[in-house]
Structure formats: structure tokens, C-alpha cells
Amino acid sequence: MSVALVRDIVSTYRGQRGALLPILHAVQETLGYVPPEAIPVLAEELNLSRADVHGVVSFYHDFRSAPAGRTTVRICRGEACQAVGAERLVSHVQETCGMSLGDTNADGSLTVEQVFCLGNCALGPAAQVNGRLRGRLDEARLSAILDEAVAQ
């Protein structure tokens, strides 16, 4: 991790009110995760305690302490998607990839996660693939997404 890079990001957002969240999003977008080594740097730059920064990082599901796979597939487990078979998709990932929600595979090509609602509740089951929303999924379509991810 480059300390200078983190300091640069802080300087971009420092003028904003309550800048820590925008800064953390920017760090994660740049580095792919929020490295634990970034926490004391952020604390020093923002005149916060390390505990404060760590507390914020660990509160929000979005911030990772380790890099994700090259493709992240987030499967919606909200009620609307449950009603059309979201849990079958979760089982399908376990059966075909041997992965549980939250896992990254060994070659770092794929991370699968759960998410509660992507706002695609009339076209479920839904998932988000590297930020891109997908709808009307079934086992075959999910497999196509997973296969493509693993091949890359």
C-alpha cells in the first residue's frame, strides 16, 4: 500500500463535511480494498483515533480488509428475490463452485457475496456482477456468469 496515495485521496476530499466515508469509498475504489495499514494514516490525516476509523470501516459491509476476486457476484437474498428462488441460486453456487457467500476462490477470479435488495424486485432473482445489475436469473444464467468470471 502506498501511504502517499492514501494521503492524496484524503487531500481530495478533506474539504467535504464528514469526509471519512467518501474517503473510504475512494480508497477502496483505488486499491480494491481498505488495507489495515491505511487506518493509522487516515486517523492521523483526519485527526481521529485509530479506533474511530477502524470502527467506521468495520461497521459498513461495503469495506473490505482484503482484495476481492476479479469478479464479484452479489446475490440478492431479499424477500422479493426469495419469493422467486434466490435461495436456490445460493445453493447452486455452493454445489457448482463449492463456495459459500462471502468466499473468494483460490485463484482470485471470483468472490460471491450476499446482498439484501438491489432494487430489482419485480425482475428477480437478481444479482450484481461487478456493479452491474442482472435480473431474471436462474441456475443456467447464473452458471454462465460464474463460468465467465472463473475463465477470466
Residues that bind another protein (CB under 8 A): 16-22, 24-25, 52, 55-56, 59-63, 76-84, 87, 90, 94, 100-103, 114-124, 126, 128, 131-136
Question: Based on CB atoms, which residue is closest to another protein, 108 or 119?
Answer: 119
- Total Cβ atoms within 10 A of residue 51: 10
Question: Based on CB atoms, which residue is closest to another protein, 71 or 120?
Answer: 120
Q: Which helix (H) or strand (E) covers residue 46, if one does?
A: helix 38-46
Tell me the closest approach of the beta carbon of residue 126 to another protein, in angstroms: 7
Cell numbers 485527526 correspond to 47
Tell me the closest approach of the beta carbon of residue 62 to another protein, in angstroms: 4
Question: Based on CB atoms, which residue is closest to another protein, 26 or 150?
Answer: 26
Q: Is the CB of residue 113 less than 8 Å from the CB of residue 73? A: yes
Tell me the closest approach of the beta carbon of residue 103 to another protein, in angstroms: 8
Question: Based on CB atoms, which residue is closest to another protein, 125 or 149?
Answer: 125
- For β-strands 71-76 and 110-115, DSSP reports them as parallel
Tell me the closest approach of the beta carbon of residue 59 to another protein, in angstroms: 4
- The phi, psi pair for 112, rounded to 5°, reads -115, 135
Coil, helix or strand at residue 18: coil
CA dihedral 134, 108, 115, 145 (to 10 degrees): 20
